[in-house]
A and B are shown apart, each in its own frame.
Chain A
Amino acid sequence: MPIVKPAPAEQFDDMGQQRRAVLMGMWVFLVTELLLFGGGFAMFAMYRVQHPQVFAEAAGHLSLPLATANTVLLLTSGLTMALAEQAVEAGSRRLTLVFYLATMALGLGFLGVKGYEWYQEWQAQLMPLPGLVFAWPGNESQQAELFFNLYFILTGLHALHMVIGLGLLGVMVVLVQRWRDPHRLTRQTQVSGLYWAFVDVIWLFLFTTLYLLGP
Chain B
Amino acid sequence: MNYRQPILIWLGLLALLALTVGLNVLMTGPWRPLLHYVIATAMAALLMVFFMRLRASDGLIRLFAVGGVLWLGLLILITLAEVLTR
- B61–A23 CB distance below 8 A: yes
CB-based contact B1/A42 at 8 Å: no
Give complex CA distance A82, B56 in Å: 14
User: Chain A, 78-113, contact with B by CB distance < 8 Å: what is the 0/1 string?
Assistant: 110111001100101001000000000000000000
A72 at interface, CB cutoff 8 A: yes
Contact bitstring B57-72, A, C-beta under 8 A = 1, else 0: 1101100110111011
Interface presence of A20 (CB below 8 A): yes
- On whether the beta carbons of B20 and A20 are closer than 8 Å, the reply is no
A208 to B6, CA, bound (A): 23
**CB-based contact B75/A42 at 8 Å:** yes
Instruction: Tell whether, in the assembled complex, residue A34 and residue B51 are in contact, meaning their CB atoms are under 8 Å apart.
Output: no
Least distance between A99 CB and chain B CB atoms (Å)? 10
Chain A nearest CB, measured from B1 CB (Å): 5
Q: Contact: A31 with B20, CB < 8 Å?
A: no
Tell me the count of chain B residues lying within 8 A, CB to CB, of chain A.
Answer: 43
Whether A46 is near chain B, meaning CB under 8 Å from some CB there, is: yes
Cβ of A76 within 8 Å of any chain B Cβ, yes or no, is yes
Identify A45's interface contact among B13, B65, B76, CB under 8 A: B76
How far, in angstroms, from A200 to B7 measured CA to CA in the complex?
16
Distance from B9 Cβ to chain A, minimum over Cβ atoms (Å): 8
B79, A27: Cβ atoms closer than 8 Å: no
10 additional A-B pairs beyond A64-B24, A71-B17, A72-B17, beta carbons within 8 Å, are A27-B68, A64-B21, A68-B21, A78-B51, A83-B3, A197-B48, A204-B40, A204-B43, A204-B47, A212-B36
Q: List residues of A whose CB falls within 8 A of some B CB.
A: 20, 23-24, 27-28, 30-31, 34-35, 38-39, 41-42, 45-46, 49-50, 64, 68, 71-72, 75-76, 78-79, 81-83, 86-87, 90, 92, 95, 190, 193-194, 197-198, 200-201, 204-205, 207-208, 212-214
* Chain B interface residues (CB < 8 Å from chain A): 1-3, 6-7, 9-10, 13-14, 17, 20-21, 24, 33, 36-37, 39-40, 43-44, 47-48, 50-53, 57-58, 60-61, 64-65, 67-69, 71-72, 75-76, 79-80, 83-84
18 A–B contacts, CB within 8 A, in A order: A23-B57, A31-B71, A71-B17, A75-B14, A78-B10, A78-B13, A79-B7, A79-B9, A79-B51, A82-B6, A82-B51, A83-B3, A86-B6, A92-B1, A204-B44, A208-B36, A208-B40, A213-B33
